Amino acid sequence: MTTATTRHSDRRISPVFLGIVAVTAVTGWATWTGFAEEPGIAVFLFVTGAWIVSLCLHEYAHARTALHSGDITIGAKGYLSLNPLAYTHALLSIVLPVIFVIMGGIGLPGGAVFIERDRIRGRWRHSLISAAGPLTNVLFAVACTAPFWLNALDGVPGEFRAALAFLALLQVSAAILNFLPVPGLDGYGVIEPWLSRNIKRQIEPFAPFGLLFVFALLWVPQVNAVFFDLVDTVLRGLGVSEYEASYGWSLYRFWS
């Protein structure tokens, strides 16, 4: 596994990413302290900023794992800088996931970085590259819910608790959706290396429509109910109540 051709400048954190982190930190502080005159606006900026940060880390995890698995072209493409504008599909990776959060409170998976798979040897490495992204969402969900299951939020303003609960909901829903074994999603990428060439050839034409198919299913009331019941079950297991997550979403949609 070589990373010799990766320059230091390729790994320099992007000012764009640092700016998003700064906005997240400031609006999180404003929500925590009650400094914001309109808490909904602060919650919106805090959750949106944190959500974009998690999307960047999701893509970074794919890229970093690919780099250490043999794709030494990753650095030159800008994927290690955490710059959301450097992604192959910035619209799919950042803009659409944010829009779907606003529309339905769903942590929609983003697009993927372009990885030169022919440089990578071994099915386990291919699977790990695909799994790295959603595992980042899992870690983010654990970090968001840790204050709840550690009972570390006593005295914390309800608006901040609700914002953190809603952010946790987004991470849990993103992890679940990403791990679905549907073509075009990371879950399929995990199992694809283990499928026969004939099966992969039959599935390949449907890959561009996998995400669209999942999104369409989520608009079916029965499917939507089952999905969010699963998300709520996971959140309750992590100490987050359905009320707090729901309140967070209502604050997030401050315009409604």
**Whole-number Å distance between alpha carbons of 229 and 172:** 12
Structure tokens at 238: 């992590």
Count Cα atoms within 13 angstroms, Cβ side, for 55: 31
Distance separating alpha carbons of residues 107 and 101, to the nearest angstrom? 6
What is the spatial distance between Cα 247 and Cα 244, in angstroms, rounded to a whole number?
Answer: 5
The half-sphere exposure of 254 on its side-chain side, counting CA atoms within 13 A, is: 16
Q: Is 197 buried (19+), middle (13-18) or exposed (0-12) by CB count in 10 A? A: exposed
Nearest Cα neighbor of 62 from 185, 168, 171, 167 is: 185
Cα–Cα distance, 148 to 202 (Å, whole number):
45
**Alpha carbons 75 and 60: distance in angstroms, whole number:** 11
| Structural tokens at position 199 | 């099966």
Q: How far apart are CA 141 and CA 179, in angstroms?
A: 15
Active site residues: 59
> Largest Cα–Cα distance in the chain?
60
Dist CA 146 CA 153 (whole Å): 10
Q: Is the dihedral of CA 135, 139, 144, 147 positive or negative?
A: positive
